[in-house]
A and B are shown apart, each in its own frame.
Chain A
Amino acid sequence: MREDMAARRDPVTGSVEEVGFFGDTPRMMGWTHIPAEDVIGGVVICSSTHAELLKAYHLEVQLARALANRGVAVQRFHYRGDGNSEGRPQDLTLPNMVAAALEAKNLLETRVQVDRVATVGVRLGAFPAITIVETGQPSILWDPVINTHRFFRDAIRSHAISGIKNGAQPERESVTLERLESEGSIELLGYEITSEFYRSASNLDLATLTPDGPVLLVPFGTAEVGPLIEAWQEKSSSVTKFDGTANEAWWLDEQASHDRHERGSILIRGSAEWIVTQFQS
């Protein structure tokens, strides 16, 4: 282990967590979760970005630990320009997210002997997760962003509504986007969104990608995933919908501690067991 890395062994399960920076400058922070016993496969978790990185953070840690306890090695990481990684906000673009996910996969394959690597994509992380997964390997998508145009539009509207509540003059969406281009970045709900990020990720449809392996789709809230499932099934992709956490946008409600805990446990157990089943089949 390198000097600038840190590691801990879980005293109960014996699994090891290693964390450090990897890749070319600007480097990314990554966590490798290594099972104590025989490794049956690997998983790369592709997080979302900005606020959504924070919201799902601990669930992703818990999933990684649950998988390691079941014999699956896991690589987590933060994209350049986001989270605890190095880099400027301008470094965060969708192509860079895909490249980063590939680097994370290579790191896992270098560190742990794995024949099969699945992916987990959270929200916007669905795009790199589906893009980098190898033919026949499974993917799980947690509440994927299906249409990025709508995703950005909703974020801009939420910001405008929040501003109106605080007495600001409302700004038309087109004006906000013009300002993004002319100023290079805008503020959305306290986060800096760069024109590089917007240009690279604002007009994508997940349905246009074709998963090459089985997919477990986990909508957290009321997202309409039916058309996505139909589109992928028409391309002969195997898609399963997981309903264990459905009904409400529970994960967005920070106060609903009971719901978050209960549904988080269901989500993690369901996701971990599905991956193990895929590796064993």
Chain B
Amino acid sequence: MGMKSETHAGVKTSDQPVFFPASDPKYFGIVSEPATATAKTTAVILLSGTFGGTTTLGRNRFWLKMARSLAQRGHRVMRFDYAGIGDSTGEAVCHELEKPATEELRAAFDLLASRGAEDFIVVGTCYGSRTALVGSAEEPRVRAVHLLVPPIGSGNKGTGGAEHLAEFGTPVSLAKKAFSRRVLRRILNDSRSRLMARRVISLKVNSLLGRSSDDQRVNDETVYVSEDFYRPLRRLLERNVPIKFMFGEDDFFRTEFESAREGRLGPLLTAHSDRLDIEVVPGVVRGFLTIQVQDQCIESVLNWVEATGE
């Protein structure tokens, strides 16, 4: 079960835990770098989804393996816990796609810059991919972005959002879901779940009545694209930042992305096709559920970093 990515396995790396930013060390992160050589000036930041109780590890130490593999290739690499997760402080919050962890990401840019980084490559998945987009659009030193199964809609992380449920659920399937014991208890006990349920009902009713509930919906034929996805993507592409998308053939987010290419995203992606790379692999990538998928993603990121880095 060897990892394909360990072609530089002989190179020693070191991990250093950090609390940051220095002025108010409330976030926890780990910086990996080559142990014996000076790190390259292009640093890499890895942004996990909010799976599990820490965002530094991932399934089967996926992010740790990716970080150490990149460090073996000479990069300084940082991964960290978002506020309220793992060893970072702060209240446990609902990680909404439209409230990305940009404060944490800005602090990570500053920390790596203070250690010699001159520019950055940002890698993210799910909630982390949205953080990567928004945060990179604000940071002129970002030179490339790799997005693993990014959601393009809105809503809470991991749910596909209210739009997903309203778009793809039938009235009967939604009612069945709402009256299941677990969901009903959540709706009764949790104000955020109540808000989510209200939004699903509103969107579904509007859709059944043929009304567009939101001016961001491009047209009824295409899928909803969040402004918080579209705007930073456009900004990065206009800045000539190379962006790579990676999906599994069977990922729901790939279906969503392909539908969006038929609509609003299409002209933007076509106009900047020379800066875009879209990789589709068999199966499901989201969640990195198998070691084969984990290895494929690590290899994709390593190759992309090698191609776009110094």
Give chain A's interface residues, CB within 8 Å of chain B.
4-8, 10, 17, 19-21, 29, 31, 50-51, 53-61, 82-84, 86, 183-185, 187, 189-192, 253-259, 261
Is B298 an interface residue, CB under 8 A from the partner?
Answer: no
Contacts of A51 in B (CB 8 A): 52, 59
Known: A55-B53, A61-B86, A83-B57. A6 touches B26 (CB 8 A): no
Contacts of A50 in B (CB 8 A): 60
Min CB–CB distance A46 → chain B (angstroms): 16
Which secondary structure dominates chain A's binding surface? mixed
Min CB–CB distance A192 → chain B (angstroms): 6
| Chain B residues with a Cβ closer than 8 Å to the other chain, count | 42
Contacts of B287 in A (CB 8 A): 190
Could you tell me if B53 and A8 are in contact, using CB atoms closer than 8 angstroms? no
B238-290 residues with Cβ-Cβ distance < 8 A to A are 287-290
Contacts of A190 in B (CB 8 A): 59-60, 287-291, 294
Could you tell me if B59 and A58 are in contact, using CB atoms closer than 8 angstroms? no
Q: How far is the CA of A259 from the CA of B26 in the complex (A)?
A: 26
Q: A58-B85, A84-B64, A184-B1 are in contact. List 17 more A-B contacts (CB 8 A).
A: A6-B17, A6-B18, A8-B26, A21-B15, A54-B52, A86-B15, A190-B60, A190-B289, A190-B291, A192-B60, A253-B182, A255-B186, A256-B182, A257-B92, A257-B190, A258-B190, A259-B189
Could you tell me if B57 and A54 are in contact, using CB atoms closer than 8 angstroms? yes
Some 8 contacts from A to B, beta carbons below 8 A apart, are A4-B16, A31-B87, A54-B53, A58-B54, A59-B53, A190-B288, A190-B289, A255-B158
Q: How far is the CA of A258 from the CA of B294 in the complex (A)?
A: 31
How would residues 1 to 21 of chain B score, 1 for a CB under 8 Å from any chain A CB and 0 otherwise? 100000000000011111100
Min CB–CB distance B266 → chain A (angstroms): 32
Could you tell me if A6 and B16 are in contact, using CB atoms closer than 8 angstroms? yes
Known: A51-B59, A57-B54. A256 touches B186 (CB 8 A): yes
Could you tell me if A187 and B290 are in contact, using CB atoms closer than 8 angstroms? yes
A-B contact count (CB 8 A): 105
Known: A61-B87, A255-B186. A84 touches B56 (CB 8 A): yes
B67-98 residues with Cβ-Cβ distance < 8 A to A are 85-87, 89, 92, 94
Q: How far is the CA of A246 from the CA of B33 in the complex (A)?
A: 44
Known: A84-B30, A84-B56. A187 touches B189 (CB 8 A): no
Is B140 an interface residue, CB under 8 A from the partner?
Answer: no
Q: Which of B52, B57, B85, B289 contacts A84 (CB 8 A)?
A: B57
Could you tell me if B189 and A19 are in contact, using CB atoms closer than 8 angstroms? no
Q: How far is the CA of A255 from the CA of B57 in the complex (A)?
A: 20
Could you tell me if B186 and A58 are in contact, using CB atoms closer than 8 angstroms? no
Q: How far is the CA of A29 from the CA of B29 in the complex (A)?
A: 13
Contacts of A255 in B (CB 8 A): 158-159, 182, 186
Q: How far is the CA of A255 from the CA of B187 in the complex (A)?
A: 12
Q: How far is the CA of A145 from the CA of B186 in the complex (A)?
A: 28
Known: A51-B59, A57-B86, A84-B57. A254 touches B17 (CB 8 A): no
